[in-house]
Structure 1
Amino acid sequence: MMGPRQEAQPALFYEFSLEDHVPQNHLLRSIDRFVDLSGIRTYLADFYSHTGRPSVDPELLIRMLLVGYCFGIRSERRLCEEVHLNLAYRWFCRLDLSDRVPDHSTFSKSRHGRFRDSELLRHLFETTVARCIEEGLVSGQRMAIDASLIEADANKQNSTPKEEWDPAQVDPDDAPRAVREYLATLDEAAFGAASEVQPKFTSHSDPASQWTAARKGPAFFSYSDNYLIDTDHGVIVDVEATRSNRQAEVGSTKTMLGRVKARFDLHPERLIADAAYGTAPMLGWLVDRKIAPHIPVLDKSGRSDGTWTRADFEWDAANDQYLCPEGHELKQFRRNYSDPNRGPTGKGTARYRALKEVCQACPSKAKCCPNADARKITREEHEDARQVARDIAKTEQYVISMKLRKKVEMLFAHLKRILGLNRLRLRGPCGANDEFLLAATAQNLRKMAKLLPAPQQPRKA
């Protein structure tokens, strides 16, 4: 039997509760338990005027941004439409059915003003990390670091070759916001001062972004999203935006480790990373701070002609010399210098040489230095730290660490596939930093919601 036609019947009064219409197993119910914005108004009090027209509640704006990044809603205009229509989003944002959703332009004004001046998004992210620590999801013993390329909002058609680009000719007063931010970061280690090598092209709309072909495909402008995670449950403990080159990415490691030490008193016993972080200065910095480097050593001392490599020579630290497989000595200095500036300095790259007459008479010269009169070996300043990393690489713990490192890559895959952060919407270093902080905050909230779900309540009859 066909039922009656369904028609909307107007009524004068409705009894409606958002609480009753949001499912108990909805993701936002679990996330809401870990979002504490009670102190946000006090945090921003100094950045608001005491007179004038009342502003939109900053807590409402933050909750809407969290909804957008948790559910991959990249457009703020679309976010406003979704919050207007979706009952669960309204419930999370503390909006009643009759409450008006803020205009999308409000986000830009707040983000470029009070939010950025007060570093509110960094404060929000660190508050989330503190909650993860409180819930026992972070031990701080083992950490991993990695970087991922995120395409910038720029293209080659609106760019200039490096031969024609001169920052000194840019007038900051007439430049867009992203260009002014670029000029302000020319001396920062994460951007302009990361490398002396200039990129092949510089974007007019976002000159701080890096022209790169690191993905072995067509080149594009990008930023690097750097994550420092605790490997216990894959919680992101710090995030940093840098230019997309190895020097900037490796340098961000020191920044993030120092920040988590100062903010949360976290000092890992080991750091896990790939070979890009296995440079001698980086390994030396970690060993000096009692952090075990579970990192492949970036070593270019190997030879392709089959002759003996540096690994075939034995290091004699007591006598500051190498011993070749035949037992001959390779020394850096063979006499005492009256001038200490001419002797061993302990810094930079040291060169160890065998005696010419010894090598010429050696029966293994063809295996050692067939095209040279005597064998020479270089030893870097942080070679001891490199050897520490090589010794760690022979342990079972290192094998486990290499498996744990994949947790960082899984977070980047989640960032791009689930949260949809394949390309930035905001320009400039500050825009990239804002997006990375919000995305990392959303990932941590989703992590807590998954590991610590909200208790299910029986539905009302």
Structure 2
Amino acid sequence: MMGPRKEAQAALFYEFSLEEHVPQDHPLRSIDRFVDLSTIRAHLADFYSHTGRPSVDPELLIRMLLVGYCFGIRSERRLCEEVHLNLAYRWFCRLDLTDRIPDHSTFSKNRHGRFRESDLLRHVFETTVARCMAEGLVGGQGFAVDASLVVADVQKQNSSNPEDWEAREIAPADAPRAVREYLDVLDNEAFGAASEVKPKFTAHVDPASQWTAARKGPAFFAYSDNYLIDTDHGIIVDVEASRSVKTAEVGASRRMLDRTSERFGLKPDWVAADTAYGSAENLAWLALDRQILPFIPVFDKSKRQDGTWSRSDFTWDPANDRYLCPEGKELKRTQQYHKDPRNKQPRTGRRKYRASKMVCSFCPAKEKCCPKVDARSVTRERFEEVREFARQCTASEYNPKAQARRKKVEMLFAHLKRILGLGRLRLRGPCGVQDAFTLAATAQNLRKLAKLKPLGPATG
């Protein structure tokens, strides 16, 4: 028999508990155990007035942002709608059924104001890293560093040649926020001073973004998200935004290593990275200045492609400051004479070694060595000893294990883009991009904590 029609009637009183309606196995319950925001009020105390209307609770804003980044809700307008409707989100944000949700514009106001002035998002991130360390998830012996391209929120149609863009007269007060931020970081090695080479296009609304074709496809505007992770459990110990050029990414890795040592006292025994970090200067900085073993392939273009002997086929004799060719003949160091007054400075310690023309002319292996010149010459880089040390590290038995652990940072980037939805930025400018990357790294660490330290079985 068909039952009677159900008529919805509003009750005068309700007995409702958010705690009972949020499932015990909901991910936010595990994440909530590791969110410690007890210090943010003291951190922000100097950035609030002692008079006037009470502001929105900063802890509520941070919790809402964490919800958005943990579950891939990129739009702050949509985030407010989701928190309004979802009971689990309300429970995590400490909101009752009758509490009002802040307006979406509140996030922008605080992000461009007191949050950025106080570096609050960095404070929240470092608090999460400290919790990971307290839970025993950070070993501190081995680190890995890498960078990933994230598409900027600009279009090629809204760009022009750098010379044409710089020629325009724009009053700083009338410029967009992203342009003002770019002008502030022109001397920063992560952005304006990262490279003297000017890109083909400059975006009008976000000039700090880099025009790049690094993905071997159509070029686009992007930023680089730099991660420094502990390889034990893939915890992100530092994060940095930079331009998408190699020099900026290498500089970001150095800043992250120094900052991690300063803030947490973590100094790794070794660091793993790809060839982009294998320049002689960076290897020397790691091995000599910071006493860190570099499991990094050496960036080397000395190998010849025409079948003749490369520099690696020659033997270095440090006692006599010379090279020996495969035939046993010596290559002596040449004297550098600078006849051109514009070229008085030698190239950063690079030395050149050359064989005797008479010896090479009658050598039976001349066609294999130097068929197009009278005598063979070999250059030796300034930090060649450090490069050789790095080659020994990558040839050691531990290198395959270090490279396997390095892949954890690539997995984090895949998780960032596919699960958290940060394949394209919504914020512009160096500061906005840094905020987005910092919040995303915080969310990834919280999700990792919830996964590795799950809730026990419910009791009672």
TM-score, length basis structure 2: 0.95
Name 1:456's counterpart in structure 2: 457
Name 1:76's counterpart in structure 2: 76
CA apart distance, 1:187: 0.6
1:348 aligned to 2:342?
no
Aligned residue for 1:157, secondary structure, equals: helix
CA apart distance, 1:345: 9.0
Name 2:227's counterpart in structure 1: 227
| Matched residue type, 2:310 | T
Q: Which runs of 4+ in 1 moved over 4 A?
A: 1-4, 344-347
Name 1:361's counterpart in structure 2: 362
Name 1:141's counterpart in structure 2: 141
Alpha-carbon deviations, 1:318-354, whole Å to 9, x = none?
222111111111121589xxxxxxxx99952111111
Q: What is the rounded CA distance, in whole Å, between the counterparts of 2:332 and 2:434 in structure 1?
A: 49
CA apart distance, 1:284: 1.1
Q: What is the rounded CA distance, in whole Å, between the counterparts of 1:368 and 1:79 in structure 2?
A: 66
Gaps of 5+ in 2: 337-344
Aligned residue for 2:316, secondary structure, equals: strand
Name 2:271's counterpart in structure 1: 271
Q: What is the rounded CA distance, in whole Å, between the counterparts of 1:305 and 1:378 in structure 2?
A: 18
Contact 2:427-2:436 within 8 A present in 1 as well: yes
CA apart distance, 1:202: 0.5
Q: What is the rounded CA distance, in whole Å, between the counterparts of 2:364 and 2:114 in structure 1?
A: 75
CA apart distance, 1:297: 1.0
Aligned residue for 1:226, secondary structure, equals: strand
Contact 2:165-2:204 within 8 A present in 1 as well: no
Matches within 5 A, 1:166-205: 166=166, 169-205=169-205
Matches within 5 A, 1:44-443: 44-166=44-166, 169-288=169-288, 289-333=290-334, 347-443=348-444
Alpha-carbon deviations, 1:404-423, whole Å to 9, x = none?
11111110010000000011
Change beyond 3 A, Cα 1:347–1:222: closer
Q: What is the rounded CA distance, in whole Å, between the counterparts of 2:162 and 2:24 in structure 1?
A: 56
Q: What is the rounded CA distance, in whole Å, between the counterparts of 1:274 and 1:6 in structure 2?
A: 65
Alpha-carbon deviations, 1:1-41, whole Å to 9, x = none?
54444333322111111111111111000000000001110
Q: What is the rounded CA distance, in whole Å, between the counterparts of 2:167 and 2:447 in structure 1?
A: 42
Aligned residue for 2:374, secondary structure, equals: coil
Contact 1:346-1:381 within 8 A present in 2 as well: no
Q: What is the rounded CA distance, in whole Å, between the counterparts of 2:147 and 2:454 in structure 1?
A: 29
Q: What is the rounded CA distance, in whole Å, between the counterparts of 1:300 and 1:169 in structure 2?
A: 43
Alpha-carbon deviations, 1:352-407, whole Å to 9, x = none?
11121121222221111111111111111111111111112222211112211111
Change beyond 3 A, Cα 1:346–1:76: closer
Q: Count the aligned residue pairs.
A: 451
Name 1:340's counterpart in structure 2: none
Gaps of 5+ in 1: 336-343
**Higher alpha-carbon deviation: 61-70 or 280-289:** 280-289
Q: What is the rounded CA distance, in whole Å, between the counterparts of 1:168 and 1:81 in structure 2?
A: 41
Contact 2:295-2:393 within 8 A present in 1 as well: yes
Aligned residue for 2:331, secondary structure, equals: strand
Alpha-carbon deviations, 1:153-179, whole Å to 9, x = none?
111111111231317843212101100
Change beyond 3 A, Cα 1:334–1:192: closer
Contact 1:353-1:374 within 8 A present in 2 as well: yes
Q: Percent identity?
A: 70
Alpha-carbon deviations, 1:64-118, whole Å to 9, x = none?
0000000000010110010011010000000001111101010000000000000
CA apart distance, 1:251: 1.2
Change beyond 3 A, Cα 1:203–1:347: closer
Change beyond 3 A, Cα 1:362–1:231: same
Q: What is the rounded CA distance, in whole Å, between the counterparts of 1:192 and 1:170 in structure 2?
A: 18
Q: What is the rounded CA distance, in whole Å, between the counterparts of 1:393 and 1:369 in structure 2?
A: 30
Aligned residue for 1:305, secondary structure, equals: coil
TM-score, length basis structure 1: 0.95
Contact 1:167-1:183 within 8 A present in 2 as well: no
CA apart distance, 1:205: 0.5
Q: What is the rounded CA distance, in whole Å, between the counterparts of 2:132 and 2:167 in structure 1?
A: 43
1:447 aligned to 2:445?
no
| Matched residue type, 2:152 | A
**Higher alpha-carbon deviation: 232-241 or 322-331:** 322-331
| Matched residue type, 2:270 | R
Q: What is the rounded CA distance, in whole Å, between the counterparts of 1:334 and 1:436 in structure 2?
A: 50
1:18 aligned to 2:18?
yes
| Matched residue type, 1:69 | Y
Contact 1:138-1:233 within 8 A present in 2 as well: yes
Aligned residue for 1:44, secondary structure, equals: helix
Q: What is the rounded CA distance, in whole Å, between the counterparts of 2:305 and 2:347 in structure 1?
A: 30
Q: What is the rounded CA distance, in whole Å, between the counterparts of 2:186 and 2:168 in structure 1?
A: 11
Contact 2:333-2:352 within 8 A present in 1 as well: yes
Contact 1:25-1:456 within 8 A present in 2 as well: no
| Matched residue type, 2:401 | I
Name 1:341's counterpart in structure 2: none
Q: What is the rounded CA distance, in whole Å, between the counterparts of 1:200 and 1:90 in structure 2?
A: 47
Q: What is the rounded CA distance, in whole Å, between the counterparts of 1:320 and 1:104 in structure 2?
A: 68
Aligned residue for 1:405, secondary structure, equals: helix
Aligned residue for 2:271, secondary structure, equals: strand
Aligned residue for 1:414, secondary structure, equals: helix
Change beyond 3 A, Cα 1:55–1:28: same
Q: What is the rounded CA distance, in whole Å, between the counterparts of 1:39 and 1:370 in structure 2?
A: 71
Q: What is the rounded CA distance, in whole Å, between the counterparts of 1:120 and 1:11 in structure 2?
A: 44
Q: What is the rounded CA distance, in whole Å, between the counterparts of 2:459 and 2:55 in structure 1?
A: 39
Q: What is the rounded CA distance, in whole Å, between the counterparts of 1:192 and 1:430 in structure 2?
A: 14
Q: What is the rounded CA distance, in whole Å, between the counterparts of 2:319 and 2:366 in structure 1?
A: 26
